Amino acid sequence: MRRDVFQAIADPTRREILGLLAQNPQNINAVADRFPTSRVAISKHLKILMECGLVVVQQQGRERICEAQPEKLQEVADWVEQYRQFWNEKLDSLEQYLAKIQNKDADNS
Amino acid sequence: MRRDVFQAIADPTRREILGLLAQNPQNINAVADRFPTSRVAISKHLKILMECGLVVVQQQGRERICEAQPEKLQEVADWVEQYRQFWNEKLDSLEQYLAKIQNKDADNS
DNA sequence: TACATTTGCAACCGATTGGTTACACAAACT
DNA sequence: AGTTTGTGTAACCAATCGGTTGCAAATGTA
């Protein structure tokens, strides 16, 4: 089952989990304790995050320490970035428009 | 029904639609013609993109011209950006590590 | 007026999603 | 040795998703 970063971060719980793990790595139960849902549900979310490389796990005895690996978010950043120019241009022309009508207003006053 | 930008861009077809509309605005049938799926399916995707503000529509007679409004991607950019420092730090320490073992290697040669 | 085009909406469908409970099992304490 | 702790897996469930077909309605055009 091929996992996709965009799909992984679509769920707000998974985004929150990534936030927690970025602050400090911790085992699965510790993560699950922070949410109202069951351990199994969180475990499934973690599995998805692992499958797309946003989280890595390190076995330590019976515990599995999960760590955030947000480099994979680069793919998302790149995709968004291609629209940056697009919306900056629109904002620029809006600014020019606003500047123009402000000047006009000043002329009329 | 509250739509969320993260959920909207999770689907590859919707990301592609946004790409098409960023190149040039066009009506719903024109978009649908670019995909192997039915018009209704594309129409549903467009509805989701509209509901979260990534696409705006302008009625023109019987046609509805769809236009990309990628400003809403700022929310995604902001979320990703908060992890930038995190992964830059990791890359930095990797670089330092690589530099270190390279020096060691040079010493040994 | 008759016809073609563009679109929305309702009903349906199979697959996926996010969740649950129940059970199993190895690692670590007492 | 017995018990607690951390985790995986299987079976199930309701809701959502991405897709379909069929029909209706409004706007253009011949």
- Nearest of B51, B52, B66 to residue B17 by alpha carbon: B66
Instruction: Please give the single-letter amino acid code of residue A47.
Output: K
pLDDT attached to residue A61: 94
Q: Judge contact between A31 and A102, C-beta under 8 A.
A: no
pLDDT attached to residue A89: 72
Q: Judge contact between B7 and A10, C-beta under 8 A.
A: yes
Report CB contact under 8 Å: B79, A15.
yes
Task: Report the length, in residues, of chain A.
Answer: 109
pLDDT attached to residue A104: 62
pLDDT attached to residue A2: 60
pLDDT attached to residue B93: 72
Choose the weakest-confidence range: A22-36, A92-106, B27-41, B72-86.
A92-106
pLDDT attached to residue A107: 57
B92 pLDDT more than 80: no
Q: Which two tokens stand for residue A106?
A: 């000043």
Interface of A to B at Cβ within 8 Å reads: 4, 6-7, 9-10, 12, 15, 18, 22, 68-71, 73-74, 76-77, 79-81, 83-84, 86-87, 90-91
CB-count exposure of residue A63 (10 Å: 0-12, 13-18, 19+): middle
A82-101 pLDDT, tens digit each = 998 877 776 677 777 777 77
Question: Which helix (H) or strand (E) covers residue B67, if one does?
Answer: strand B63-68
Instruction: Please give the single-letter amino acid code of residue A67.
Output: E
Q: How far apart are CA A13 and CA B27, in angstroms?
A: 36
What confidence tier does A109 reach under pLDDT thresholds 50, 70, 90?
very low
Question: Residues with Cβ < 8 Å from B29, sequence gap 6 or more?
Answer: B39
CB-count exposure of residue B69 (10 Å: 0-12, 13-18, 19+): buried
More confident residue, B87 or B14: B14
Interface test with B, best of A87, A91, A94 (most B CBs within 10 A): A87
Q: How far apart are CA A75 and CA A2, in angstroms?
A: 15
CA atom of A40 to C1′ atom of C24, Å? 15
- Nearest of A82, A79, A50 to residue A67 by alpha carbon: A50
Q: Judge contact between A69 and A54, C-beta under 8 A.
A: yes
Q: Which two tokens stand for residue A78?
A: 């790149």
